[in-house]
Chain A
């Protein structure tokens, strides 16, 4: 086998490994919300992406979309029956009062970008 092919094989394996590590082995770090509201900046995803809130307490999630990507134009928090449009550079507030502990994911309208609400 020629050298170029060997290099391509090694680069390919490395590329696949790096892709796996980069996208699929991302560690979620939860930001604990002490107050009654949190601002989530919507740009290339959700920042903070993972939040931790107490059970039974009403928390206001203020979504602020600064990224014009159309996919992010909607946020869906399915477990709380919430689907909201996020106009660019406008704050959109939703209130949730989780009754049960657990992990609730939220996403953009097409389920490409994800965030998580950890209720404990």
Chain B
């Protein structure tokens, strides 16, 4: 398959470099085309994916005297952060200027305060001079947004501010320049420069705080990107060299020393160390790792030096996957947002129409001076309306919620999954590999004849060597651990759902469950007490027969994970019913159920029937979360309302599940549901606040209270309310961060 790859090339300075690099790349076998762009310093290579590796491309470019950056991260988060901080600085300057100038005008024009002001500030022309830079320099932000939007026949928050303040400014300008004309129509010539300037100053101040707070909502991604190591120490041509992490390629041998970050994902070749994976998986205790174990990029090597082979680099690492997943979740929309979406697309035009209505009503029916009342109340309506709060209510909470989850090893795929998770009232755990370690071990050997326990295990293991069942693996390993030598078995046959049979030294052997013995006609009733006892202890009893005689029992059990009991208890504390689904027999399953305190057990369920069992629970009106390993039980995960995978962050697990717990901690299931509940509570509070604010205060701004209490809202107070409204929504979302998980 032919693929295209674009990467940066360092060291280019002229057009001849282009020719050189293109020629070098085209010479590589399997490369069909190479195009180098001097303007962007990038090369695009078309090649056969199976034939050409990153290493070959890098060495071809290096051979021409340049350097290829093959695993470049697209996102330069630092740059974006710097840009935002710079914008905040400019905004702060504008806020300061407009509030100082606005404050001076306010001092010189507000009744009760103006008496203390110097005469110069009371001069309308001086006020005009002070107000003009605020209106058209500081306030240019609003015009710059509103004018192009207007050309698109769209109106936004800025349009409201522009209309409101422009009306106030030009009315004041008219009054200042033509006071006699205004007087002639019976209106006292009073300008409202203070209204225009203070509104601009306060709304900009609100925006400043809002932007500052919004920076905090995307902290999680920034932190995750910041986790990456900057350099890697690789062994190349027998030498250890430090190279930027982007230049590490598959197969590189990387050395990691104590106290260093692991640069990319790979498998340890030599050495032993304790590795702190808390930043990626949320697991707080360091994990002992040795040759053959997998290490992840961005995790921290505590003690010991080791070398590992790079297996995943660039966008394929676990960290890159986590970042991608969190970014996608933060980009998704929660269904609850639909209402806000629908309202906000009509909101601003409706507010403009209400403002016009306000003007007409006050002009026609209001007290004298009706023009002043009409004008000020119209401005108040335009200024108090806050579409921002509605727009920010859901996404800010989703961003903080999903980010907080990621910090604790809980990866949420979409906002919709997060929303649904808070409704879950039933959690179904898959047993093997989820509640248990997934590595069964031989726990009991009972000989029922003259044969020793070792012989019973040797015979069973010899027979199971040909089987692919997970229990067979446990028996073979059990024999190997006891250094027993296995023997050759002929006529091996697996009986699905029952066990295995074969011939060893002329003797016919069989190993399996009761059903197998019933079928071949071996009586086991005498040992039923032993079998039942083992099953009650949560063990699987395997019966061994030789030439039609029952000669022994081997019990195999899967050990429960340390976090299983606490995880189940945490869910029950949330009022959730906890089920376990397993292919095990009922008695064994019930034994585990009793240890963990499960509400119910779905035992003897074949893998392909798990999905049907989940559907049955859903049909009974339950909202079901299925917890599995994400690989074997993908259909069950998909059919559950919320699929939770206890995965190591593999593509398949993340794809199948709505939520991935990379820390593999059972307690995180309750953690994820609790996170969903708190995030949803925040969203509902935000939406209630955003809608409530507008629904109550817009009629008040229109003068709804005036007929009853003679109360009117001042436009300056309206701008304070507006600014506070959107800040409070962002602040409430940020409060999620401080909630305990």
Q: Which residues of B lie under 8 Å from residue A120 when comparing CB positions? A: none
A33 near B: Cβ within 8 Å?
no
Q: Which residues of A lie under 8 Å from residue B395 when comparing CB positions? A: 76, 83, 109
Within 8 A of B (CB), among A63-95: 67-72, 76-85, 87
A111 touches B349 (CB 8 A): no
Within 8 A of A (CB), among B148-179: 148-158
B328 near A: Cβ within 8 Å?
yes
The residue in chain B whose Cβ has the minimal distance to the Cβ of A11 is B360
B83 near A: Cβ within 8 Å?
yes
Q: Closest CB-CB distance, A9 to chain B, in whole Å?
A: 6
Partner of A69, one of B153, B158, B341: B158
- Given A85-B80, A112-B391; A71-B329 close (CB under 8 Å): no
Distance, CA A44 to CA B152, complexed state (A): 7
Q: Closest CB-CB distance, B206 to chain A, in whole Å?
A: 13
- Given A71-B156, A76-B333, A112-B344; A24-B349 close (CB under 8 Å): yes
A15 touches B349 (CB 8 A): no
The residue in chain A whose Cβ has the minimal distance to the Cβ of B142 is A69
The residue in chain A whose Cβ has the minimal distance to the Cβ of B76 is A87
A110 touches B150 (CB 8 A): no
> Of residues B83, B154, B357, B414, which shows the largest number of chain A Cβ atoms within 10 Å of its Cβ?
B154
- Interface residue range, chain A: 35 or more
Q: Which residues of B lie under 8 Å from residue A9 when comparing CB positions? A: 360, 364
A8 near B: Cβ within 8 Å?
yes
B148 touches A16 (CB 8 A): no
A76 touches B349 (CB 8 A): no
A12 touches B360 (CB 8 A): yes
B388 near A: Cβ within 8 Å?
yes
The residue in chain B whose Cβ has the minimal distance to the Cβ of A1 is B364
B330 touches A111 (CB 8 A): no
Q: Closest CB-CB distance, A15 to chain B, in whole Å?
A: 5
A5 touches B364 (CB 8 A): yes
B352 near A: Cβ within 8 Å?
yes
Q: Closest CB-CB distance, B154 to chain A, in whole Å?
A: 5
A39 near B: Cβ within 8 Å?
no
Partner of A111, one of B150, B155, B327, B341: B341
Distance, CA A107 to CA B148, complexed state (A): 16
The residue in chain B whose Cβ has the minimal distance to the Cβ of A43 is B148
Q: Which residues of B lie under 8 Å from residue A72 when comparing CB positions? A: 145
> Of residues A68, A70, A80, A111, which shows the largest number of chain B Cβ atoms within 10 Å of its Cβ?
A111
Distance, CA A110 to CA B347, complexed state (A): 13
Q: Closest CB-CB distance, B182 to chain A, in whole Å?
A: 14
- Given A71-B157, A76-B333; A23-B349 close (CB under 8 Å): yes
Distance, CA A67 to CA B152, complexed state (A): 13
A111 touches B331 (CB 8 A): no
B345 near A: Cβ within 8 Å?
yes
- Given A8-B359, A76-B331, A111-B341; A70-B87 close (CB under 8 Å): yes
B18 near A: Cβ within 8 Å?
no
What does the 1/0 interface line of B203-247 toward A look like (CB < 8 Å)? 000010001000000000000000000000000000000000000
B364 touches A81 (CB 8 A): no
Distance, CA A80 to CA B332, complexed state (A): 7
B357 touches A16 (CB 8 A): yes
Partner of A19, one of B152, B328, B356: B356
- Given A23-B155, A67-B144, A87-B83; A78-B333 close (CB under 8 Å): yes
A113 touches B359 (CB 8 A): no
A114 touches B148 (CB 8 A): no
A5 touches B363 (CB 8 A): yes
B330 touches A83 (CB 8 A): yes
B356 touches A15 (CB 8 A): yes
B328 touches A111 (CB 8 A): no
Q: Closest CB-CB distance, A51 to chain B, in whole Å?
A: 15
B147 near A: Cβ within 8 Å?
yes
A45 near B: Cβ within 8 Å?
yes
Distance, CA A8 to CA B356, complexed state (A): 10
- Given A45-B148, A81-B414; A19-B353 close (CB under 8 Å): yes
Distance, CA A15 to CA B358, complexed state (A): 12
Q: Which residues of A lie under 8 Å from residue B391 when comparing CB positions? A: 109-112
Q: Which residues of B lie under 8 Å from residue A87 when comparing CB positions? A: 79-80, 83
Distance, CA A67 to CA B360, complexed state (A): 35
Partner of A24, one of B340, B346, B390: B346
- Given A5-B364, A111-B390; A44-B340 close (CB under 8 Å): no
For the complex with contacts A16-B356, A26-B153, A78-B415, 4 further pairs of A-B residues with Cβ separation under 8 Å are A20-B353, A45-B154, A67-B148, A76-B333
A sample of 26 inter-chain contacts (CB < 8 A) reads: A12-B360, A15-B353, A16-B356, A19-B356, A23-B352, A24-B349, A43-B148, A44-B145, A45-B148, A45-B149, A69-B144, A69-B145, A69-B158, A70-B141, A72-B145, A81-B331, A81-B332, A82-B328, A83-B330, A83-B395, A105-B341, A107-B341, A111-B344, A112-B348, A113-B152, A114-B154
> A-contacting residues of B (Cβ < 8 Å)?
79-80, 83, 87, 141, 144-145, 147-158, 207, 211, 327-333, 337, 340-341, 344-346, 348-349, 352-353, 356-357, 359-360, 363-364, 387-388, 390-392, 395, 414-415
Nearest 8 interchain pairs by C-beta: A44-B148, A83-B331, A78-B333, A110-B391, A12-B360, A45-B152, A69-B145, A23-B349
